[in-house]
Amino acid sequence: MNSDGLKYVLREFVGRPLPPGRPRQLQLPTGTGKVIGLSGVRRCGKTFLFFDAMRRLLDEGVDRRRIVYLNFEDDRLHPLAPRELDLVLRCQRELFPGTGRLYLFLDEVQNAPGWERWVRRLADTEDIAIFVTGSSSRLLTRDLSSAMRGRSVTLEVFPLSFREFLEFRGIDFEPYDARQESVVRAAFEEYLHWGGFPEVVLADPSMRPLILEEYASVMLARDLAERRGIRNEGLIRALLRHCFRNTATLLSLSKLSRDFKSLGLDFGKNTLFDYVRLLEDAGLVFLLPVHESSVRKQARNPRKLHVVDTGLVAAFLPGAERDVGHKLETAVFLECRRRAREWHYLGGASEVDLCDAEGRLFVNSCWSLADPATIEREAAAMEFGAQLLPAAARSLLYHEHVPGIESRIAGARPAWRWLLECQQEIEPA
């Protein structure tokens, strides 16, 4: 990186209007005195949360020249050596001399070698507010927290929630309006099918599958194979495909290892375990342990797998529109995960999809409660949950049902309504 090229990048940003955006439920705090990190998968909306924060700063009277934005995926900033990071503030002050608090927004910071030490030094020595994004949750949680020693906060960013999906699509919901409820129910089915990536939600329907396929390709080739130095590309491709084809199912790595080897894949004993951790690190999958007080018992049981977005399932699974039950369960998990980090499932004589770590709440989901056998099975699962966690609040979430189901099973509620109203119910204590 040279100073002349960097000055072009800095002046270009100040001279152009901020891209238009739509408000999200999550807002970037700007006055905490801490370094703020945003982690999340590619294209989930981290950069636009930056722009939203910049608009609020401008509305508060901050001079646009005091706001510095760098995207470290910009080819004009490469090659980049750690010692060259100091050029950022030097060039900014040469272009826009003067005093005043600076606001430094660093996008995809993992592409800047030595960024942790540089950010720590700036936070210690400069009058500056610093915001960073990264595509690795562990990179920001571990590296930023370790470097800043209590002076940072990392927030997770997910694709759109169902409430945000409705807002992006301009769909209002008024309770006790049958016609409006029908519109929202149809929108919920669309949400499960296409997921919540903002670009996909706003795109023409004919473009959505192409965009999702491109996302899947880039996540595999760049975020995993290239950035993390994956050597066994065949294995990581097969693993990613398996995960997105089997969301909301139990994952046994020993069984999966045998299955992959039967297909002719060659890999070492620990490679599959390492690759699964990489998928978790990249925020592409989440693995829930069984609800047990014993760590040993948790380790002996398979984990429940969820993926980061239901729309990406279609990029890996032809006919994914038929797999609505598993996608419903994943959408429910993601809503819970937005509000609390630690979730488990209940296993044993029956299985319950989700419970929080403290056992205050458990949630089961089922696409259709129209069949008597399904009703009996789900009622038994809810009773099983009540026996294990007698003081817990409970919900059985469904989409299709028969009249009167709420009176037959305690906690039965339409899934779409729960996703719009569950905020207080699942907020951590």
* Centroid of chain to Cα 245: 18
Whole-number pLDDT of residue 305: 98
pLDDT at 428 exceeding the cut of 60:
no
Q: List Cβ neighbours of 320 (8 Å cut-off, separation of 6 or more).
A: 193, 313, 314, 327
Segment 402-409 mean pLDDT: 87
Would you give the DSSP letter of residue 319?
A: T
β strands within 264-381, DSSP E: 285-288, 303-307, 343-346, 352-356, 361-369
Segment 320-326 mean pLDDT: 80
Q: Distance (Å, rounded) from C-alpha 18 to C-alpha 127?
A: 24
Whole-number pLDDT of residue 377: 94
* Centroid of chain to Cα 283: 6
- The answer to whether residues 304 and 287 touch, using CB atoms and an 8 Å cutoff, is yes
Whole-number pLDDT of residue 429: 45
Whole-number pLDDT of residue 314: 86
Confidence of residue 343 (pLDDT cuts 50, 70, 90): very high
Whole-number pLDDT of residue 16: 95
pLDDT tens digits, one per residue of 214-256: 999 988 887 787 777 788 999 999 999 999 999 999 999 999 9
Q: Distance (Å, rounded) from C-alpha 336 to C-alpha 44?
A: 17
- Considering the chain, what is the average pLDDT of its residues? 91
Confidence of residue 141 (pLDDT cuts 50, 70, 90): low
Whole-number pLDDT of residue 406: 86
Whole-number pLDDT of residue 14: 95
* Centroid of chain to Cα 336: 11
Confidence of residue 137 (pLDDT cuts 50, 70, 90): low
Q: Distance (Å, rounded) from C-alpha 265 to C-alpha 242?
A: 14
